A and B are shown apart, each in its own frame.
Chain A
Amino acid sequence: MDAPLDGTSSRRGPVRAPQSLVAGLGLIGLGVFGIWAGSDLDYGSLRAIGPGLMPFWLSIGVGLCGLALAIAGFTHDGAPLQSFTFRGPVVITLAIIAFAVTIRPFALGGITTPGLGLIVAGPLAIIIAGYAGTEARFIELLTLALFLTAGCMLLFGDMLNLPIPIFPTAVVQAMTGVLPARTMLRLAAGAMALVGLGLLVVQRRSGRREPIEVARHSLTT
């Protein structure tokens, strides 16, 4: 992917395997963190091992592995550091957080988000996530979001009966007694699928029919 730094051994400086070195340092950090996180726990005795014993020795073990890796970074030739992109991780994380705080009321500090249910959280997650890739097109993502959310509502809410909030809490309260929850769910899912179909037709009409790119992702490469 990135231009590999070939001939690492001939590079300047003492580091011969940067990947090992950084990975090792990371593990050492994790080990130290583990020892700190478990420092308030009792180690106990062999007869009655306390809750702190395993975490302590595991952290030591992780740290030692890290040390060995880091040393290997100086003594052995190895892989260079790989390039990172930030767009993917940042956007995907945003999408996940968006889903988590909208699916049901969520208190963060003094602020409580309104519970909006799957009908909002689902499309939100899909559309935001779509922009993690470089080829995102809003209409296409919206269509996908409508179909998938409608499908998920029917599948999880209706068929499998899983306890997932579907509609915003306010809507549920307002509609109580007016419409049975199931009927409302089916109606909403139907409407979303219809809008989705409409969008599909519009996209066809607009003539921007991209050829379907077969096997362009890593699943088949």
Chain B
Amino acid sequence: MGLSTLSRRMLVVGGLLVAALPLGARAQAPAYPTRPITLVVPFAAGGSTDVVGRLVAQKMSEILGQQVVVENVVGAGGNVGAARVAKAEPDGYTILMGTVATHALNPLILKRKPYDPITDFSPVALLAVVPNVLVVNPNLPAKNVQELVALLKAEPSRYNYASSGVGTPLHLSGELFKSLADVKMQHIPYRGSGPALNDVVAGQVPIQFDNLPSASEFIKAGSLRALAVTTKERAPSFPDVPTIAESGIPAYETYTWNALFAPPKTPKPIIDALNAAAVKALADPGLAERMKGFSAKLTPSTPEALAEHVKSEIAKWTPVVKEAGIQAD
């Protein structure tokens, strides 16, 4: 009798304990996420990757019911942050905002590779594609891509073009343009696109490849002339600006992309949960509106599609990097 009361009491107390601690250490089965997730943005706060990261992180926080905290881990063109995630615990609490730089260009450029873009990550979802744009100072006589090519061919050693730095997608956009159009321009690297824009607006450097978002206000104000966007299709925010492909260089296509990656060997359920949250976040009309104002095209995808995307990007950039002769240690 006493025994049974005791055991019943124990059952009740035990049940209460379990109810009170549903997420306790022992009940570890489902319910990812149970604590804040760190989204590593491998570039400085305020840049376009950071902005995309923060917008998506905010929506994902609402959807997952746990804070997605953006941490800017800056350094070595994005490699420091990417390498940190590649080595992080595959528990879904550290994820990376990857870009074309961290997952295609840097691994090609660097001699000493801190990680492998394919085997050292579990892809989650492609998020957005941001077009690049070819802009010139309004005083440059070229009104379109053909005229620019003619100008560059007439005086091969005269013109310079600015980009946001060596080995950035914008520098390589310029190099790809040089090789496909068979022209010569001197590359002038800057510390980010802000200072480069300043010198192009002021006419110190006549030509620049830039992200469409950061150049857009200058194009609208007429202080820069947009000759063409670098994507296959025209940008919805600038329907009158042609593409480079339709201006006589059909093979030309570059863009900057952002995608979520998790550490290697992250369990499938966690990847799926993150993917679902990311895709749902991108479907949010408020977010879509913000991203449109930012000239970014949303591209929600499956993890498998992102894996394919990374492979095709690496294939695309390998010859360009080789031809441009960029190598760093």
Task: List residues of chain A with CB within 8 A of the CB of B312.
Answer: none
**8 A Cβ contacts from B1-53 to A:** 21, 23-25, 34-36
| B71-A177 in contact (CB<8A) | no
Task: List residues of chain B with CB within 8 A of the CB of A176.
Answer: 23, 25, 34-35
| B25-A178 in contact (CB<8A) | yes
Q: Is residue A142 contacting chain B, with contact meaning CB distance below 8 A? A: no
Q: List 10 A-B contacts (CB under 8 A).
A: A174-B25, A176-B23, A176-B25, A176-B34, A176-B35, A177-B23, A177-B24, A177-B34, A178-B23, A178-B25
Q: Is residue A181 contacting chain B, with contact meaning CB distance below 8 A? A: yes
Q: Is residue B181 contacting chain A, with contact meaning CB distance below 8 A? A: no
User: Which residue on chain B has the smallest CB distance to residue A107?
Assistant: B87
| B35-A177 in contact (CB<8A) | yes
Of B21, B23, B71, the contact of A163 (CB 8 Å cutoff)? B71
Please classify the interface of chain A as helix (H, G, I), strand (E, B), loop, or mixed, using the class held by over half of its residues. Answer: loop
Docked pose: A177 CA to B35 CA in angstroms:
7
Task: List residues of chain B with CB within 8 A of the CB of A177.
Answer: 21, 23-25, 34-35
Interface string of A166-177 (1 = CB under 8 A from B): 000000001011
Task: List residues of chain B with CB within 8 A of the CB of A181.
Answer: 35-36
A159 to chain B, nearest CB (A): 16
**How many pairs of residues, A versus B, come closer than 8 Å at their CB atoms?**
19
Docked pose: A181 CA to B66 CA in angstroms:
12
Please classify the interface of chain B as helix (H, G, I), strand (E, B), loop, or mixed, using the class held by over half of its residues. Answer: loop
Docked pose: A176 CA to B21 CA in angstroms:
11
Task: List residues of chain B with CB within 8 A of the CB of A174.
Answer: 25
Listed residue (A174, A176, A181) with the most chain B CB atoms within 10 angstroms of its CB: A176
Docked pose: A140 CA to B21 CA in angstroms:
40
Task: List residues of chain A with CB within 8 A of the CB of B21.
Answer: 177-178
Q: Is residue B69 contacting chain A, with contact meaning CB distance below 8 A? A: yes
Docked pose: A78 CA to B69 CA in angstroms:
58
| A178-B36 in contact (CB<8A) | no
B253 to chain A, nearest CB (A): 30
A35 to chain B, nearest CB (A): 20
User: Which residue on chain B has the smallest CB distance to residue A180?
Assistant: B35
Docked pose: A181 CA to B36 CA in angstroms:
9
Task: List residues of chain A with CB within 8 A of the CB of B36.
Answer: 181
Docked pose: A181 CA to B35 CA in angstroms:
9
A167 to chain B, nearest CB (A): 12
| B69-A163 in contact (CB<8A) | yes
10 closest Cβ contacts across the A-B interface?
A: A177-B23, A177-B34, A176-B35, A163-B71, A176-B34, A178-B24, A174-B25, A177-B24, A178-B21, A177-B35
Task: List residues of chain A with CB within 8 A of the CB of B35.
Answer: 176-177, 181
A sample of 14 more A-B contacts (CB under 8 A), given A163-B69, A177-B25, A181-B35, is A163-B71, A174-B25, A176-B23, A176-B25, A176-B34, A176-B35, A177-B21, A177-B24, A177-B34, A177-B35, A178-B21, A178-B24, A178-B25, A181-B36
User: Which residue on chain A has the smallest CB distance to residue B22?
Assistant: A177
B63 to chain A, nearest CB (A): 19
Docked pose: A181 CA to B69 CA in angstroms:
14
Docked pose: A163 CA to B45 CA in angstroms:
14
Task: List residues of chain A with CB within 8 A of the CB of B34.
Answer: 176-177
